[in-house]
Structure 1
């Protein structure tokens, strides 16, 4: 973590580092290449990223490139990525967009015990042999590690209505 975000009024930090309580392992399968190198410039969410007009790409490590078989331009994906420059100890946060402090699990903030983020994106171009997926947008810093890629399926991924 290169820069540690300062706590705002009402925020509560854990008295331990969640990174020291590892119970499983995560393998990074590649990196996201985006237009943003500074946290202050990065869009707040995927909608803002789309509004910026900045596309992005995912570059997979060679060992995982065969996993792109079957994907095509136009397909929607869920990309899970590790916000490696986020704080992990804030359990109550005071976001600028909300009234008063809120628990981390009621927010989409990158600052959380396990800084996993997820965005629904659309494939613009794909080069399976080169391990590159050009996507419509993303809301993270350049070089962010990718955890997983899954197809977005409306018949499965839409929340129940009612």
Structure 2
């Protein structure tokens, strides 16, 4: 299903994609300068450092769903990391001091390759179904599963 595992990594004994319990409707795709053969940033913070903006192009019929969003507003973009392998349950990331469980990482290599980023809207065209965003670490063409407004009163964890 992909590259040979690194030392310390463990594979699932099954293909998670073969255990589909639901279906998805991709609402659009990311447009970015990144791809498998580029020096893609490892996370959204690094993507912002590049200064490379990106866009979300919605599929036909979804533009009306942008009503109520505005330039400058933060949104959560949920994507389907379609090129990530799905069978690693323990990973050995290069930045860590040892192997970690997939659910302790933000890696695109996971049973369900869902990723999320909080970004800021830089432009919006509901008629065309296009949203400009400040950055992305997703490859060009990555499917978009959903967009949600980021709300400080909801999305910040409680203080202890």
Match of 1:96 in 2: 94
Q: State how many pairs are aligned.
A: 160
Q: 1:80, CA displacement in angstroms? A: 0.1
Q: 1:110, CA displacement in angstroms? A: 0.4
Structure 2 residue runs of 5 or longer lacking an equivalent are none
Match of 1:79 in 2: 77
> Residues 89-129 of structure 1, C-alpha deviation per residue, up to 9 Å, x if partnerless?
00000000111111000000000000000000000000000
Partners of 1:11 and 1:78 in 2: how far apart? 30
TM-score normalized by the length of structure 2: 0.97
- Which of 14, 35, 38 aligns to 2:36? It is 38
Structure 1 residue runs of 5 or longer lacking an equivalent are none
Question: What does 1:129-148 correspond to in 2, within 5 Å?
Answer: 129-148=127-146
Match of 1:124 in 2: 122
Alignment check: 8 A CA contact 1:39 1:141 kept: no
Partners of 1:71 and 1:60 in 2: how far apart? 14
Partners of 1:19 and 1:112 in 2: how far apart? 11
Q: 1:82, CA displacement in angstroms? A: 0.3
Match of 2:45 in 1: 47
CA distance 1:118–1:15, change in 2 (3 Å): same
Match of 1:23 in 2: 21
Q: Cα RMSD between the aligned structures?
A: 1.1
Q: 1:64, CA displacement in angstroms? A: 1.1
Q: 1:40, CA displacement in angstroms? A: 5.1
Partners of 1:39 and 1:104 in 2: how far apart? 24
SS of equivalent residue, structure 1 residue 134? strand
Partners of 1:37 and 1:106 in 2: how far apart? 25
